[in-house]
Amino acid sequence: MKLWILLFVFTFFTVGLATDIDQAMVKIYTNSMAWSYYIPWITEALRESSGSGCVVDGNMILTNAHVVSNETYLQVRKEGDPRKYQASVVAVSHDSDLALITVKDESFFQGIDPLELGELPRPREQVTVYGYPMGGDALSTTQGVISRIESSFYVHSGLSLLTVQIDAAINPGNSGGPAIIDSRIVGVAMQTISQADNIGYVIPVPVIKHFFEDLEDGSYDGFPSAGFSYQVIRNEAFTEMFGIEKEQAGVMVTNIAYGSPAAEVLEPGDVIMEIDGRSIAGDGTVEFRSGSRTKLDYMVHRRQIGEVIPLEIIRDGISATVEMTLNTTLHDLTIVSSKIYDTPPEYFIFGGAVFMPLTLNYLEEWGSDWRMYVYEYFTYPFFFNNWRTEDTEEIVIHTYMLPAEVNTGYENIANEIIRMVDGTPVRSFSQFVELVESSTGQFLELTTNLGNIIVLDREEAFAVNDEILDRYGIPEDRVVFQEPVRQ
């Protein structure tokens, strides 16, 4: 009898617990149109997709950024209610693949107890993922175990941030659903490895909290970047030469981005021994909690824009402490930007020649395996050094010609980097446009990275530009921002 009572109580408790979580679950229906980066003045076909989310404090629904990216119309349905409600995006962090959306009709939130954030879980803890995967319309759950916690690649943004790997299935439609331990959110389902069985990734609580704290002042700033590259130290001779007392400790600074926080306090050749109070191992990792290590970048990403962190360095054999103010993001410091969403691509057409800044979006127009097919000089920044320099903020490319009499003979010049305009080096896309339009000579001379020269009759190019736009159905000759787009 006693055993029966215990079983009844346990069943009642767990069913009630599941119901408490179920009532906060939301299915998200998204209509979206992404911009084409090969024909940058048009959008691609309307796309319908769905994702998952959950209600959190403030009548907000937490989900993935990729669930609502480039949205044109958004609807949501709460668990147990057949009606769909129009929703709108409140804030997006494409960096961390997180978004907050809400519903204007406050009746949507009646009877819902918001879910609360938990703590960063431990490896081998049991976790349950909630969501609305493809194959049905009802709420689904999958269970698994926390496999590991470390910094990993976020497919949506291309950045490396803290992630939690789990062995619970995460299928299309699950994106944005919460991972739950003890009725609290410990992560948001994000992505999976398609070539492996049951290897999924969730965005952990520290990253979610960073997003929430960032929004407290009413605007999203992003994740800071120190703006330096480093070499790991695993060789005894190297350690001895640079005056490092500990074996396999520290990293050596190799490259520094122009205008970065690192440029203010570091020099190439400096050895960084500690960052923000944590010792750095020779493999470039720090212990972010007892028994767990990850890349030292985590110590920067966990901070907010404007905060200051100390560094313990060795310069010319002498130890010193410097402080670095984290006032820039990765997007402020790289030559080739990471993925851009919710914003039309920049382009400029002059004399039928189409110009754009080089972006990851453009490279992906070559296909999912673009690294294999795109020109090596396009991929160089990704594999070697993508930091800005004093002379180069962006790479400007000539994509192709819109055939016209004014550009006859240049049809085969395409996908080349524009190095100079009338002998002046190109620094950024907006500066390039200014150089072209302020040119006063009879001819405009453009020099590419392959040594090709495009010479256009300046007055003729200006005169026929509108005619070329009309011929190819192009609404305007440009979309140009003064500053590169930040996500």
Residue 84 lies in a domain: yes
Does the annotation mark 105 as catalytic? Answer: no
Query: Which listed residue (32, 50, 52, 66) is catalytic?
Result: 66
Q: Is residue 223 part of a domain?
A: no
- How many helices (H) and strands (E) in the chain? 12, 28
Kindly name the residue from 175, 225, 337, 430 that is annotated as catalytic. Answer: 175
Distance of alpha carbon 53 from alpha carbon 91, whole angstroms: 14
Q: Which two tokens stand for residue 323?
A: 């402080």
**Bridge-based pairing state of the strands 126-131 and 140-153:** antiparallel
Residues 474 and 341 both lie in one domain: yes
Residues 324 and 342 in one domain: no
Note whether 362 and 441 are same-domain residues: yes
Report if residue 120 sits inside a domain: no
158 assigned to some structural domain:
yes
Q: Is residue 117, in this structure, part of any structural domain at all? A: no
User: Which of 151, 185, 217 corresponds to the end of one domain?
Assistant: 217
Cα–Cα distances in Å, from 282 out to 197, 286, 315? 33, 10, 17
Check which CATH number belongs to the domain holding 412 and give it: 3.20.190.20
Note whether residue 275 is domain-resident: yes
Model pLDDT, residue 475: 96
Domain's final residue, options 217, 250, 272: 217
Active site residue 214: no
pTM for the predicted model, two decimal places: 0.90
Is 66 catalytic? The answer is yes
CA distances from 98 to 62, 160, 392 (A): 7, 14, 31
Q: Are residues 158 and 67 part of one domain?
A: no
pLDDT tens digits, one per residue of 138-192:
999 999 999 999 999 999 998 999 999 999 878 888 999 999 999 999 999 999 8
Helices within 126-251 (DSSP H only): 205-214, 236-241
**Are 137 and 200 contained in the same domain?**
yes
Q: Is 183 left (phi over 0), alpha (psi -120 to 50) or beta?
A: left
Range of the domain at 207: 126-217
Q: Is 188 within a domain?
A: yes
What tokens appear for 150 in the block?
A: 């470390």
Boundary (domain end) residue, out of 165, 193, 217: 217
What CATH number is associated with residue 252?
Answer: 2.30.42.10
Q: Which of 152, 116, 144 is nearest to 128 (CA)?
A: 144
- Find the CATH number of the domain harbouring 64: 2.40.10.10
Pair 246, 379 in one domain: no
Among the listed residues 49, 69, 97, 270, the single catalytic one is: 97
> Under a CB-based contact definition with an 8 Å cutoff, are residues 168 and 131 in contact?
no
d(CA 47, CA 73): 11
DSSP 359: B
Pair (465, 363) in one structural domain: yes
Same domain, 211 and 187: yes
Indicate the number of domains in the chain: 4
pLDDT lower than 70: segments of the chain: 1-19, 194-197, 483-487
Whether residues 300 and 399 share a domain: the answer is no
> In the prediction, which pLDDT does 484 show?
56
CA-to-CA distance for 336 and 197, rounded, in angstroms?
Answer: 33
Residues 291 and 238 in one domain: yes
> Is-contact 76 108, C-beta < 8 A?
yes
Are residue 442 and residue 457 in the same domain, yes or no? yes
- Structural domain includes residue 15: no
CB 305, CB 329: distance < 8 Å: yes
Burial class (CB in 10 A: 0-12, 13-18, 19+), 178: buried
Please state, in angstroms and rounded to a whole number, the distance separating the CA atoms of residues 137 and 325: 48
Could you write out the DSSP letters of every residue in 262-329? HHHH--TT-EEEEETTEEPBTTSEEEEETTEEEETHHHHHTSPTT-EEEEEEEETTEEEEEEEE---B
pLDDT tens-digit map of 254-297: 999 999 999 999 999 999 999 999 999 999 999 998 889 999 99
The verdict on 49 and 175 lying in the same domain is no
